[in-house]
């Protein structure tokens, strides 16, 4: 179980490459190994808890209001807003030994618009040691 003090220290370490705007949501994995943060700047970042290093980043033009992480650390869901409309960001994390882009998103909104599968911005996948 992560303590409040350990969590705060980890967030301070994460400030080496911080979000540009206000962070609106933070979630810690069940095993306290990773932290996922979502920001008004449209980014979702994944951090390693033990040293505060940034593992990957997903950027969009959607202001991220809330993030959730699955128990098995294989999916991240974000709720965002753009032009007064709510948007859903769903990312599947793929296990890989390479640094090629490995995260894909399905972006959808109520009423249909914005659907489709598209590759995310270039980023490193989560290391295998953090996946079951």
Q: How far is CA 3 from CA 7, 49, 117, in A?
A: 6, 12, 37
Rounded Cα gap, residues 76 and 106, in angstroms:
11
Please report, in tens digits, the pLDDT of each residue of the chain (132 residues total): 444 455 555 554 444 456 677 888 999 999 999 999 999 888 898 988 888 888 888 888 899 999 999 999 989 999 999 999 999 999 887 765 544 443 444 444 444 444 443 444 434 455 555 544
Q: Kindly list the structural domains of the chain, giving each domain's residue range(s) and its CATH number in brackets, ordered by start.
A: 4-130 (2.130.10.10)
- pTM of the predicted model, to two decimals? 0.63
Residue 78 has what pLDDT? 93
> Backbone dihedral region of 22: left (phi > 0), alpha (psi from -120 to 50 degrees) or beta?
beta
Mapped onto helix, strand or coil, the DSSP state of residue 54 is strand
pLDDT of residue 128: 53
d(CA 19, CA 124): 18
Tokens of 119: 């590759």
Give the Cβ contact number of residue 107 at 10 Å. Answer: 19
């Amino acid at each position: 179980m992560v303590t409040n003090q350990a969590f705060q220290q980890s967030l301070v370490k994460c400030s080496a490459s911080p979000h540009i705007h206000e962070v609106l949501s933070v979630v810690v994995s069940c095993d306290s190994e990773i932290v996922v943060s979502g920001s008004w700047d449209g980014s979702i970042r994944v951090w390693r808890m033990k040293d505060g290093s940034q593992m990957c980043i997903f950027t969009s033009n959607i202001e991220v209001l809330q993030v959730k992480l699955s128990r098995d650390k294989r999916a991240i869901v974000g709720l965002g807003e753009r032009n007064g409309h709510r948007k859903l960001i769903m990312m599947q994390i793929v296990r890989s030994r390479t640094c090629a882009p490995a995260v894909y998103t399905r972006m959808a909104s109520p009423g249909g618009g914005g659907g489709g599968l598209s590759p995310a911005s270039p980023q490193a996948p989560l290391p295998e040691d953090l996946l079951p």
